[in-house]
Every structure is written in structure tokens, then in C-alpha cells.
Structure 1
Amino acid sequence: TKFAMAKSQDSSGAALLKNFLSGGFGGMCLVAAGHPFDLIKVRLQTQVTMAGKAPEFTGAFDAARKIMAREGIRGLYRGISAPMVGITPIFAICFWGYDLGKQGMHSIRGSKYGVDQLSLTDIALAGAFSAVPATALMAPGERIKCVMQVEPEGSTRFKGGMRSVVSHILKEGGVRSLYRGTTATLLRDGIGSMAYFGVYEGLKRALTPEGATLSPLAVVMAGGFAGMCNWAVAIPFDVVKTRIQTAEGAEAAKGIVQHTREMMAKEGLGSLYKGAAPAMLRAFPANAACFLGMELSLSFLNKMF
């Protein structure tokens, strides 16, 4: 398979539309490959370890084994409707924002989009910009997903699925409650996206010799490692975001600094890396699938239009 490159004569609008559509397809591939790992990560992040008590799950593999024993394979896909509905447009917006960021960097540098290469620093800055429109769209879906994922098996609180979770959140604190954790999400994704796109582009260039066509293997390797680097820097922000978004009662009023301080005091530095194992395990296959889906669909669009 050879990837068709973007046409240098593409208008900025055409390039943005192609990136929007291919980003959405990449997002669907990412959810399908990564959801079970994400569910395990959230279950690990939300279990509170008390002194002298054994935790329910000792790690990622133990959590997977126990969830499958209790809830079957479907248990690992609990709550997938929210990310599938939410992540597809988010990735579309993310890749659209990334392309817009790249166009902006070309304008600042006075270079030509589609012809000249940006430096990896400029790529990372364009990546950080992509998090802004994506977070505006993503925060409510993340909140709903986290609330659904921590609900124990057999609970009848949210019988109506996603709809009853949304109505519970809205009753609790209106639309503002739906956006709880937005600042933490923006921090996680702004910093994570700098690593994500910077590493992807850097590895893609390193794995593609001068004048050679981009290969699927280069995309898979670059995409997988980019996903791992993204999570390596984003995990502490993600843990705090999950705590903020699943907090109830008095805990719900606490912000990023308060949650971070309390977690460090009660559970130590390691608490900020809770769920790191499943996140890193998920990162390679999910993001390899995402970038492969994105590059294949972008190549298809470049051939067709």
C-alpha cells in the first residue's frame, strides 16, 4: 500500500475538510482497538487504596481477569457508546485543528503549506493548538464516560444507559456539571498533543528515507510510539481529571490543585500514575490503528479529490 500525499494545490479549506473526515475515521479505529484498555484504566484510577486493606485490583491484568469473570467480554466494552459517539467527531476536530495549526505555523514562518516541511517544534505547537477545539467538544463525553465506567455491575442507578447518566449529571449541577474537569482535560491534551504529533511526525520522517513513499509499517510504528509518548506525559493530568469527573458530594467542589495535593498526601506520588499500565498497553495498538485509519482514509480522499 502506498499513501497518496496531499495535493499542494489543495485550498486550505479542502485540506481542512480532508483532515476532518480522515481524523474522524481514525478516531473510530482508535475506539474499537482501545476501549477495553481504557475501561481498565478508569477502574484502576478510581479505586481508593486504604492503608492495611488489599485493593480490589492489583494491576491491569488482574482487573481484566476479574471484569471478564464477573461481566464477560461485554464488560470490557461497557460504556463504549459514549466514546464512539463522542470520540469520532473529537478526532475529526482534533486533526482539523492540527491541520489549521500547521497552516498557521506556515503563515508565521512564511513557508508554503503542502510543499515546505515545518520544524518538529512547529509541529508540536500545532499539536498543542489542536487540543483547544477538541477539548471544547470532548469534556462532556469524557465526563459521561467516566461516570458510566465506574458504576458497579448490577447497579440500577443508570438503567437507561447514557441518557440517564446525562440527566443525573444535569440534575446535579446543570450544564456546568457536564463540563466539570474541562481545565484538567485541556492541560492533559495540550501537553499530550505536543508529544503526540511531534513524535509521530519525527518518527514518520526518520522511518521514511528521502524520496521514498510513506509505508503502512512506518505509520503503525510512528503512531504507536506517538500514543505511548502522549500518555507518558499526560497520565498525571488524566488521573486528576478522572477523579474530578467522578467525584460526588463535597468532593465535587474540589479543583485540580486540591485533588492533586490530597492524592499525593494520602496515596503518594504513585497515585498520579494510577492506570498507567493499561493506558500504555492501550496506547500502542489504539494509536497505531488511529494513525493507520487516518492515513489510509486521507490517502483515499487525496486520490479521489
Structure 2
Amino acid sequence: MSVKMPASRAVEDVKRQSEAVLSDASSTVKNAAENPKQATTDFLHTPFMRAALPFINGGIAGMTATTVIQPIDMIKVRLQLAGEGVKTGPKPTPASVVREILASGKALDLYTGLSAGLLRQAVYTTARLGFFDTFMKTLTTSAESKGAKVGFKERAGAGLAAGGLAAMVGNPADLALIRMQSDGLKPAAQRANYKSVIDALVRISKNEGVTRLWAGCYPTVVRAMALNFGQLAFFSEAKNQLKSTSLSPKTQTLTASAIAGFFASFFSLPFDFVKTRLQKQTRAPDGTLPYKGMFDCFKKVAKDEGLLRFYRGFGTYYVRIAPHAMVTLIVADYLGFITK
């Protein structure tokens, strides 16, 4: 048989609990005011923040790097789209692309698609570095419990998995970025003139269907896995190997980032090239697309433009990837250090 608590007693209990909560809150605020550094440290070490920090730090690092590198990314995309379908077509250089962009508009046109690039980093790099850090912590804990150390194979696996998962989440922003950057190549009457990444996403969804936002997802995922294999695995491995040298910690990070950037560029450029072509394409009046998918694009480009076309602009791509990797990893490293 249940016994009902008198209303007056229930009210007193609620009042007492409320006063206790308010007292705790007041004490917390007072302590925070008196010792802000300690309060910040306590907050950063809550279970939620410890799990969220790798993702937050990764997103901030990626967005910082994108702001610095965006003009180079714009040049890279224009190089990949030049001479499409023609083996002996034009062979632009980074300098000629810059001249063309400046001649047709303003210097700020080099930052076309920055909003999409930032959104992509907020989603993609946040997930990529966050997942990688989480996977590495789990692998390290597991290895230490067995008296072993995490090896290159485990680092590579963590990089591949983190890149693939993040790429699927970030594909819509990636597609919007390519559309915004390639829009200037069309005749003036055919340009979409997207106002922002949100405008691009809404209009693409409305005119082509929501699923179109995941166009080129397969090569995007493969590219991300290849890039992360080269970037995260080789960065982690290089940094581990450089610990035994006389280089300062900062120099070790810079050197490891440069090495990681080279391998990331080498492994991922062909997939980045195909991703750009697939995301740029739009349907012809009869409803057909130039490429049916990743393998069809590889086949047609190899046949019509030659195998070396996949590595066109490698220098520009490296200059885009390596500094981006360096800025991202250095900022993430620093943020990780100050939020320990």
C-alpha cells in the first residue's frame, strides 16, 4: 500500500533541494571569480569536455588552415577542371590561373567558396581529427594494457577509418565548395552565382534533389582515407621517429607535418581529381551526366586526357595540402597542449 507524502512536506523538500542547488551554484560562481584558471581547468576536465575537445580542437585547427590556404585551393580546382575531355587541351599554370581570375574580377575572387570551405572544415576536420584522436586513445590504452606500443599499422588503420567516416558527413559542404569555385568557368548567363554555402546547398537540393549533395561521395571517402593515411599516420609515425633526434619539439612538428603533407598529396591527388570532376558536373538537357561514377571518370580521363592528367598540378596540390596539414596539425597540437 502506497503512502502519500503530505503536500506541505513535499513543498519543503523541493524548497530545501532548490536552496542546496542555488548554494552550490553560488559557491561555484564565487570560486570561478576568485580563481578563473582553476575553474577553467575543472571545466575542461569534465567527462563531456574531455570527449568533445579533440573534435572542437580539430574543427578550429581546420578552419584556421582553410582561411590561410583557400586561394591555393581555388587555383587547384581550376587546374583540375581545365581542358576537360581533351588530351591535348590547354596546360594552364598556377600563375596563368591567378592572372585569369584577377583579370575577370577582383583579388577577393580567390576566396570564392570560403564559407563552404569553412563549413566543410567545421564538419569534416572536426570529425576527422576527433575520430582519429579518439581511436588512438583507445588503441593506446589497449596496447598499454598488454605491455605493448601502438605501431604504424594501428596508426594507419585509425587514419583510414577517421577519414572515411568524416568524409561521408562532410560531402555536402565539399560539393558546395566545388560548385562555388567552378561557377566562374561557365558563361555569365549560365552561372548560378551562389551567395553563400547555405544558398548553394538549398538550391542544389531544390533543383537536383537532396541525394545530389552526396555526388562524388565514393571518391571523396577514398580520397579522405588516402589523405588521412598519408597525413595522420605518417605525421604520427614521423613525430615518433623524430623524438630521438636533437631537433626542438617545434621543429619536429614542422618536419613531421611536411613529411605527412607529401605522402598525403601523393596518395590522395588522383581521387581528389576525380572527386572534383564528379562534383562539378551537372545534367545536360537530356538528363545525362558526363561521368556515371568514379570508375567511369577514371576510365574516360585516362583514355581521353592521359594518365598523367590525374597528377596535373601536383606542385600546387602539395602547396595546398602540406601547409594546410602543417597549420592544422600545429594548431591542433597547440590546442591539445593548452587544454590538457
What TM-score do the two structures reach when normalised by structure 1?
A: 0.85
- Which residue of 1 is the match for residue 156 of structure 2? 124
Structure 1 residues 138 and 215: alpha-carbon distance in aligned structure 2, compared to 1, 3 A threshold: same
Q: Larger deviation: 274-283 or 196-205?
A: 274-283
**Which of 196, 204, 208 is the equivalent residue of 1:173?**
208
Which position in structure 1 is the counterpart of 2:14?
A: none
Relative contact order, higher structure (CA 8 A, sep 6+): 1
Q: 5 Å matches for 1:53-92?
A: 55=90, 58-92=92-126
1:199-238 equivalence runs, <5 A: 199-209=234-244, 215-238=249-272
1:111 equivalent in structure 2: 144
The 3 A distance-change label for structure 1 pair 289 and 219 is same
Shift of 1:42: 0.6
Q: Distance in 2 between matches of 1:52 and 1:90?
A: 34
Between the aligned partners of 2:243 and 2:183, the Cα distance in structure 1 is 46
How far did 1:159 drift?
4.9
Counterparts of 2:140 and 2:243 in 1: how far apart (Å)?
22
Shift of 1:196: 1.1
Report the Cα distance in structure 2 between the residues aligned to 1:220 and 1:263, rounded to whole angstroms. Answer: 36
Q: What percent of counterpart residues are identical?
A: 21
Deviation at 1:120, TM superposition (A): 1.5
Aligned residue for 2:183, secondary structure, equals: coil
* 1:144 alignment partner in structure 2: 176
Determine the C-alpha separation between the residues in 2 that align with 1:270 and 1:52. Answer: 10
Residues 54, 130 of structure 2: 8 Å contact kept: yes
Distance (whole Å) between structure 2 residues aligned to residue 112 and residue 37 of structure 1: 45
Shift of the alpha carbon at 1:240? 0.7
Q: Mapping of 1:3-14 within 5 angstroms?
A: none
What is the DSSP-based 3-state SS (H/G/I as helix, E as strand, rest coil) of the residue aligned with 2:184? Answer: coil
Give the secondary structure class of the aligned counterpart of 2:209.
helix
Q: 1:265 aligns with which of 292, 299, 303?
A: 303
Query: Equivalents in 2 of 1:106, 1:251: separation in Å?
Result: 46
Question: Quick check: 1:220–1:288 contact (8 Å CA) kept in 2?
Answer: yes
* Aligned match of 1:24: 59
Q: How does 1:274-293 map to 2 (within 5 A)?
A: 274-293=312-331
Distance (whole Å) between structure 2 residues aligned to residue 232 and residue 286 of structure 1: 15
Which secondary structure state, in structure 2, belongs to the residue aligned with residue 125 of structure 1?
helix
Distance 1:268 1:207, change over 3 A: same
Whether the aligned pair in 1 keeps the contact of 2:143 and 2:150 (CA below 8 Å) is no
Verify: 1:42 aligned to 2:80, yes or no. Answer: no
**2:332 aligned with 1:294:** yes
- State whether residues 40 and 275 of structure 1, in contact with CA within 8 Å, keep that contact through their aligned partners in structure 2: no
> Is the contact made by 2:230 and 2:260 (CA closer than 8 Å) also made in structure 1?
yes
Q: Larger radius of gyration, structure 1 or 2?
A: 2
Question: What is the RMSD of the two structures over their aligned residues, measured on CA atoms?
Answer: 2.7
Whether the aligned pair in 2 keeps the contact of 1:42 and 1:275 (CA below 8 Å) is no
Amino acid in structure 2 at the alignment position of 1:136: M
Which of 255, 274, 280 is the equivalent residue of 2:293? Answer: 255
Matched AA of 2:213: L
Instruction: Give the deviation of 1:111 after TM superposition.
Output: 2.4
**Offset at 1:79?**
0.8
Instruction: Give the C-alpha shift of residue 116 in structure 1.
Output: 6.5
Contact persistence 1:16–1:99 (CA under 8 A): no
TM, length-normalised to structure 2: 0.77
Contact 2:116-2:196 within 8 A present in 1 as well: no
Gaps of 5+ in 1: 1-9
Q: 1:208 to 1:256 in 2, by over 3 A?
A: same
C-alpha deviations, 1:184-212, integer Å up to 9, x for none?
111111122112112101221222238x9
CA contact (8 A) 2:117 2:177 kept: yes
Give the drift of 1:284: 2.3
Which deviates the most, 167-176 or 188-197? 167-176
Alpha-carbon offset, residue 23 of structure 1: 0.9
Counterpart Cα distance in 2 of 1:214 and 1:236: 35
* Distance apart, 1:68 and its partner CA: 2.8
1:242 counterpart letter in structure 2: T
Aligned residues: 289
Give the letter for the 2:337 counterpart. Answer: S
In 1, Cα distance between the equivalents of 2:218 and 2:207?
Answer: 19
Report if aligned partners of 1:86, 1:138 keep a CA contact under 8 Å in 2: yes
Contact 1:224 1:283 in 2 (8 A): no
Contact 1:223 1:287 in 2 (8 A): yes
Q: In the aligned structure 2, how far is the partner of 1:237 from the partner of 1:51? A: 19
What CA distance in whole angstroms lies between the structure 2 residues aligned with 1:297 and 1:243? Answer: 35
